Amino acid sequence: MILSGDFTSYVAYFRQWATAHPDLKFFLYGGVEKGMDYARSFPDFDYPLAWLEQPIVLPGDNFAANHMAVYKTGLSVLVQAPLDDNDAQIAAYAQSFQILLTLLKKLRLDNRAKTILCDLNSIRLEAVSLLWADSHYGWRMEVNFEMNLNEFLY
């Protein structure tokens, strides 16, 4: 059964993945404009971390008795590495990429099981800009996925 398209279910979907992942130490939701100082303000903050961004939500009707919410969102996995250690930076990028591949696998399996609907071909992975976070390396995934709004609109 497809997941409910409410906001709490959106955050919970990614939080459950992050909490279950053995390499992730911290999960955070919020706009990236809050910056790393916001993330570091939590007492249990640690690396690697998964940062789920605020989504753009497009409610729609598939004309088959289903009202859906398309969530356009991004999630970054950040790992800290010294600015003067290129090998550690490459290892941080590699670890972040590997962690995001487990999310890609979850999205693929959940799409197949119809827990969510996800356009797997539209997923995009991009290295995180060093201008965004000092001595943090990693990847950002952009993803569009759909969840059901029927329980709220009928």
- Domain boundaries defined on the chain: 7-153
CA distance linking residue 125 with residue 143, whole number of Å: 9
> What pairs with residue 9 in β-bridges?
none
Q: What is the pTM for the complete model shown? A: 0.91
**Is residue 70 predicted with pLDDT exceeding 70?**
yes
- Identify the DSSP state of 23: T
List the beta strands (DSSP E) in 1-135.
26-29, 49-52, 56-61, 67-80, 117-118, 124-127
Query: How many CB atoms are closer than 10 A to CB 40?
Result: 12
The arrangement of secondary structure in 7-153, i.e. its CATH architecture, is: 2-Layer Sandwich (3.30)
Q: Which is more confidently placed, 10 or 151?
A: 10
**Is residue 16 predicted with pLDDT exceeding 90?**
yes
The residue among 45, 53, 50 whose CA lies nearest residue 139 is 50
CA distance linking residue 18 with residue 41, whole number of Å: 19
**Is residue 133 predicted with pLDDT exceeding 70?**
no
pLDDT given at position 132 = 55
**Is residue 45 predicted with pLDDT exceeding 90?**
no
Mean pLDDT over the full length of the chain: 90
Buried b (16+ CB within 10 A) or exposed e, 127-146: ebeeeebebbbbbbbebbbb
